[in-house]
Amino acid sequence: MIRFNQVSKRYPGGYEALRNVSFDIAEGEMVFLTGHSGAGKSTLLKLVAAIERPNSGSVLVNNQNVGVLKGGALPYLRRNLGIIFQDHKLLFDRSVFDNVLLPLQICGFDHRESAKRVRAALDKVGLLKREKANPIALSGGEQQRLCIARAIVNRPSILLADEPTGNLDAAYAQEIMDIFRSFHQVGVTLLISTHDESVLQDAGVRRLALKQGELQPTSTGSGPA
């Protein structure tokens, strides 16, 4: 469950990226976050992950007010969250396998269990045969799938994705969306920021639309935005 209550976010320098934003996302729901460049989509996702803090209002994630979490509590929040960043944040000095392994190492999983989980995650995104490759040798679509494997290896209940199909052609974008739908079917909560029209045509997915930091009346997507 994700709940924003009258959330505003101002960056140092005074720019107000989000203004009085309120919404609820139920457990197991899949929601698109849309809006023009600079509308505040990344900021909203960062507030869910407690990468940024609100200046006012509350951000609840699984009933926890993450806007006021102390540093020591952050790893517990992040264990329940998978994040797919806009700029990938892949490590090019280690293999595909080791990139996915990293979150488990941070959580202290033993080696055997970790290896099992890494291979299960790579299998889900169709990259099992590439585990020894360096991410630099992967195509854009494969790198994006690798990011998804890394985000889900902890089996999070909530998955956040920031423009996951940006720079991909329509066929690759659909592949990525098929992977997200398969997580949705097993009960994962998904919040996906996108302005990709081919993705937004997905009928029945609720949209949260931001415009200059404000939430617009919500709709359920059944055609082009």
Ligand X SMILES: Nc1ncnc2c1ncn2[C@@H]1O[C@H](COP(=O)(O)OP(=O)(O)OP(=O)(O)O)[C@@H](O)[C@H]1O
Could you tell me how many residues of this chain bind ligand X (CB under 6 A)?
12
Q: Is 40 in the site for ligand X (CB under 6 A)?
A: yes
Residue closer to ligand X by CB (options 39, 151) is 39
Using rule CB under 6 A, residue 38 touches ligand X: yes
> Cβ 25 to ligand X, closest distance in Å?
18
The C-alpha atoms of residue 2 and residue 158 are separated, in whole angstroms, by 9
According to CB under 6 A, which one of 2, 7, 17, 21 is a site residue for ligand X? 17
Among 41, 78, 145, 207, binds ligand X (CB under 6 A): 41
15 or 92, CB closer to ligand X?
15
DSSP state letter for 171: H
Contact with ligand X (CB under 6 A) among 34, 42, 99, 144 = 42
Take residue 154 and report the two structure tokens written for it: 């902890």
Determine the Cα–Cα distance for residues 84 and 166; give it in Å rounded to an integer: 12
State the Cα–Cα distance between residues 34 and 20, nearest whole angstrom: 17
- The total of other beta-carbon atoms located within 10 Å of residue 117's CB is 19
Which range touches ligand X (CB under 6 A), out of 34-42, 55-63, 105-113, 150-158? 34-42
Q: Is residue 15 within 8 Å of 190, Cβ to Cβ?
A: no
CA distances from 150 to 101, 128, 211 (A): 7, 13, 31
Contact 199, 223 (CB under 8 A): no
User: Quick check: 76 binds ligand X (CB under 6 A)?
Assistant: no
Q: Phi first, then psi: what are they for 7, rounded to 5°?
A: -85, 130
Can residue 165 be called a binding residue for ligand X (CB under 6 A)?
no
Distance of CA 32 to the CA centre of its chain: 11
Select the span of 19-27, 36-44, 56-64, 173-181 touching ligand X (CB under 6 A): 36-44
Nearer to ligand X, 23 or 157 (CB): 23
Among 39, 83, 101, 188, binds ligand X (CB under 6 A): 39
Does the protein bind ligand X through residue 35 (CB under 6 A)? Answer: yes
- What is the phi/psi pair of residue 158, to 5°? -130, 135
Residue 44 C-beta: closest distance to ligand X, Å: 7
CA distance 168 to 40: 22
Q: Which stretch binds ligand X (CB under 6 A): 41-49, 64-72, 87-95, 106-114?
A: 41-49
Residue 37 lies near ligand X (rule: CB under 6 A): yes
Q: Which positions touch ligand X (CB under 6 A)?
A: 11, 13, 15, 17, 35, 37-43
